[in-house]
Amino acid sequence: MKMSHVGIMVSDMDKAIEFYTKALGLKVVMGKSAVIEEKETAIGAMCIAVFGEGFKGFNIAHLVTTDGVGFELFEMKDREERHHVDFSKIGLFHYSLETDDFEGVIERVRQYGGKTRMETMRYHPEDDSKPYKMVYLEDPFGTLFELYSHSYSETYSSEYE
The whole-number pLDDT of residue 47 equals: 84
Whether the per-residue pLDDT at 26 is higher than 80: the answer is yes
The whole-number pLDDT of residue 82 equals: 52
Whether the per-residue pLDDT at 87 is higher than 70: the answer is no
Q: Which residue has the higher pLDDT, 125 or 61?
A: 61
Q: Assign 3-state DSSP to the chain and report helix, strand, coil percentages, each to 5.
A: 25, 30, 45
Domain covering 1-77 in this structure, CATH number: 3.30.720.110
Q: Which CATH class is domain 91-161?
A: alpha beta
The C-alpha angle with vertex 121 and arms to 116 and 124, in degrees rounded to 5, equals 165
The set of residues, in sequence order, having a beta carbon less than 8 Å from that of 90 and lying 6+ positions away, is: none
157 φ/ψ sector (left φ>0, alpha ψ -120 to 50, else beta) = beta
Whether the per-residue pLDDT at 32 is higher than 80: the answer is yes
The whole-number pLDDT of residue 160 equals: 45
The whole-number pLDDT of residue 158 equals: 61
Length in residues, the chain: 161
Q: Confidence band (pLDDT; 50, 70, 90) for 42?
A: confident
**Encoded amino acid at 11, one letter:** S
Q: Where are the domains of the chain?
A: 1-77, 91-161
